[in-house]
A and B are shown apart, each in its own frame.
Chain A
Amino acid sequence: MSQDALSTLLDTREWLLADGATGTTLFNMGLTSGDAPEMWNVDHPDRVRALYQGPVDAGSDLFLTNTFGGNASRLKLHEAQNRVGELNRVAAELGREVADKAGRPVIVAGSMGPTGEIMEPMGPLSFDGAVEMFHEQADALKAGGVDVLWVETISSPDEYKAAARAAELSGMPWCGTMSFDTAGRTMMGLTSADMVKLVDGLPNPPIAFGANCGVGASDLLRTVLGFAQTGTERTLIAKGNAGIPKYVEGHIHYDGTPELMADYAVMARDCGARIIGGCCGTTPEHLRHMREALETRPKGPAPTLEAIAEALGGFSSASDGTDDKGPARRERRGRRRG
């Protein structure tokens, strides 16, 4: 079996530049709030091509398809749960078209976001149910020609496992990132070190794993440092937001400048990430600065937390749960049950 395109590219390159924002970029192109971005794959293929072309022109080596909410659970909110196959396949085909015209290797990564459901036993979604939804999406992305599946913004370890299983069923290589947005952990309480264990325990581990979205660029790098400190040798992904959204005179903008994201990109590499990109608020302009910084500035030693805070801003919480300095669980007053 021949090696997948992403692994081949990683063999020849020290780092890869991923893409930036999808959602915030589409809104800037006129997507109306409340509409499913995935509909545009069919209704406005020209705009989706333009979305993909942005990072390619800015120097990205990899971009994600417009399929983040393309699973049956999310599309159901738009009564489009029966269009999973079509919307994902078309998104992938458009991506293939743009990538193949780039004149250099560009990876098309099939984005798979969370189902939005809470899994058993806390919520209604069963493991098998989640696998089924991800599998349906994965098959469609494969049919449309993506190089790799790209599972992202996951917070539940079971949902991550379900996506891994779906990739296995589809016979596809995959990457998977989680969102660490709650005091340095995922919403479900997973620390960076926990995620390394989770990935190590999978029967079909991803080509690369890491963090995306979350709070700001500083928090994201703390998470990447956390991965690296476990000694993992797997390829790490950093896809952080361009700062934090601010509400100024009726408009929202992310406070991360292209210069700041350039510093972030270089620091992400120093922290140990090899696939580096942005998330919400990251425009092609940011990506251009990131590419230039990665090409022109030398790789350095991993930064300290202080250096990250100094360069990119403070952290959202004092501890991220990996240093035993975080708040401790309360003492029980009654007797413990078995």
Chain B
Amino acid sequence: MAEEEDDIILSELDDEELVAQMMDDLYDGLAEEIEEATNILLERGWEPYQILTEALVAGMTIVGHDFRDGILFVPEVLLAANAMKAGMSILKPLLAETGAPTIGRMVVGTVKGDIHDIGKNLVSMMMEGAGFEVVDLGINCEAEKYLNALEAENADILGMSALLTTTMPYMKVVIDEMVAKGMRDDYIILVGGAPLNEEFGKAIGADAYCRDAAVAVETAKAFMARKHNQASAG
């Protein structure tokens, strides 16, 4: 196996090959290789934002699709997200310096009365993997906590999770509170959790129900694109 490993010297690949290799390495969850390749692209003069979108986010999109399609499962996705984060930690300070646009910022938490967090944690990790900034409020979140965080963090997206049929109706309480405060339309609201479905998402006034973490990422991207378009049109 060592022979094959010797075959690939990242710095000898041209840009196109290197990006393709990064996508494979993300897919395989190889954090060190992603770090190395990120540094190589920076040395070659790539803009941090270009590396983020064309290599890392593009690579994680493939991972997300294969997760959605039942080809990859949670362990692989977590390893891929870890690799993505390794590259992201290099880019993050540079992105801040260059004033590059953020992909989006999400506040996420499991609703009041509910202590289940695996699904929510997965969404957090995959959103981060896709380049979003995520503020995780943890479990058992009251409406006030969500609302305060949305404002304090200048967030674009609210994500709410529930695993229990007894706690999912609390999502509506949060949304109603946002409506009452006149802030509902300032945010994209995504909801998820095992007992939910699309019908429920519509019934409580969320923007979308997301079946799993991969769908959450896709949906968040689609809504953010719409938001940016509206902003530039307005």
Q: Give the CA-CA distance A23 to B166 in the complex, in Å.
A: 10
The answer to whether B166 touches A327, judged by C-beta atoms less than 8 angstroms apart, is: no
In contact, A338 and B66 (Cβ under 8 angstroms): no
Q: Decide yes or no whether B152 CB sits under 8 A from chain A.
A: no
Partner of A24, one of B27, B112, B165: B165
The reply to whether the CB of B17 lies closer than 8 angstroms to some CB of chain A is: yes
Say yes or no: B70 contacts A332, CB within 8 Å: no
* Residues A247 and B113 in contact, CB atoms below 8 Å apart: no
Which B residue's beta carbon lies closest to that of A31? B166
Min CB–CB distance B24 → chain A (angstroms):
4
Q: Is B21 an interface residue (CB 8 A)?
A: yes
Contact B24 A333 (CB under 8 A): yes
Q: Please tell me if A3 contacts chain B, counting CB pairs below 8 Å.
A: no
A208 at interface (Cβ–Cβ under 8 A)? Answer: no
Chain B residue contacts of A338, Cβ below 8 A: 1-5
Is A122 among interface residues, defined by CB-CB distance under 8 A?
yes
**In the assembled complex, A182 has its CB within 8 A of some CB on chain B:** yes
> A118, B2: Cβ atoms under 8 Å?
no
Q: Confirm or deny: B36 has a beta carbon within 8 angstroms of a beta carbon on chain A.
A: no
Judge whether B8 is part of the interface by a CB distance below 8 angstroms: yes
Stretch binding the partner chain, chosen from B48-56, B75-83, B94-102, B128-136 = B75-83
The answer on a CB contact under 8 Å between B2 and A334 is: no
Known: A116-B117, A337-B5. A329 touches B203 (CB 8 A): no
Would you call A334 and B21 a contact (CB within 8 A)?
A: yes
**In the assembled complex, B200 has its CB within 8 A of some CB on chain A:** yes
Closest to B194 in A: A181
Return the contact of B164 from the options A33, A78, A122, A337 (Cβ within 8 A).
Answer: A33
- Write the chain A residue with the least CB distance to B28: A337
In the bound assembly, the distance between CA atoms of A122 and B82 in angstroms comes to 9
Q: Determine whether the beta carbon of A32 is less than 8 Å from that of B113.
A: yes
Q: How far is the CA of A77 from the CA of B138 in the complex (A)?
A: 11
A34 touches B140 (CB 8 A): yes
A contact residues, range: 35 or more
Instruction: Answer yes or no: A330 CB below 8 A from chain B CBs.
Output: yes
Complex contact A34–B200 (CB within 8 A): no
Binary A-proximity of B1-16 (CB < 8 A = 1, otherwise 0): 1111101100000000
Name the segment of A132-140, A183-191, A264-272, A303-311 touching the other chain.
A183-191
B199 at the interface (CB under 8 A from A): yes
| A297 proximal to B (CB < 8 A) | no
A13 close to B (CB within 8 Å):
no
Q: For the complex, is A326 an interface residue (Cβ under 8 Å from B)?
A: yes
In the complex, which residue of chain A has the Cβ closest to the Cβ of B22?
A: A334
A103 within 8 A of B: no
Is the CB of A104 closer than 8 A to any CB of chain B?
no
Report yes or no: B115 in contact with A183, Cβ–Cβ below 8 A: no
Would you give the shortest CB distance from A156 to chain B, in whole angstroms? Answer: 8
Chain B residues closer than 8 Å to A187, beta-carbon distance: 73-74, 118
Query: With A252-B168, A252-B195, A321-B70 in contact, is A34–B112 under 8 Å at CB?
Result: yes
Determine the distance from Cα of A329 to Cα of B17 in the docked complex, in whole angstroms: 20
Q: B139 in the interface, Cβ–Cβ < 8 Å?
A: yes
Mask, B172-197, CB within 8 Å of A = 1, is: 00000000000000000000001111
A185 contacts B73, C-beta separation under 8 Å: yes
- Are A333 and B70 CB-contacts (below 8 A) given A33-B167, A245-B165? no
The distance from the CB of B86 to the nearest CB of chain A, in whole angstroms, is 14
User: A328 vs B199: C-alpha distance in the bound complex, in angstroms?
Assistant: 31
Q: Establish whether residues B24 and A34, one from each chain, have CB atoms under 8 Å apart when the complex forms.
A: no
Assess the B75–A247 pair: CB atoms within 8 A: no
The answer, among B70, B79, B115, for a CB contact under 8 Å with A77, is B115
Q: Are B73 and A33 in contact (CB under 8 A)?
A: no
**How would residues 90 to 124 of chain B score, 1 for a CB under 8 Å from any chain A CB and 0 otherwise?**
00000000000000000000001111111001000
5 contacts between A and B (CB under 8 A): A187-B74, A247-B197, A334-B20, A334-B25, A338-B5
Chain B: residues with CB nearer than 8 A to chain A? 1-5, 7-8, 17, 20-21, 23-25, 27-28, 30, 33, 62, 66, 69-76, 78-79, 82, 112-118, 121, 139-140, 164-170, 194-197, 199-200, 203, 212
Given A34-B140, A121-B79, A123-B78, 13 more contacts at CB 8 Å?
A24-B165, A181-B194, A188-B75, A189-B73, A245-B195, A247-B197, A247-B200, A326-B70, A329-B66, A329-B71, A329-B72, A334-B25, A335-B8
Query: Taking beta carbons and an 8 Å cutoff, which residues of A are in contact with B?
Result: 23-24, 27, 32-34, 74, 77-78, 116, 118, 121-123, 155, 181-185, 187-189, 245-247, 250, 252, 317, 319, 321, 326-330, 332-338
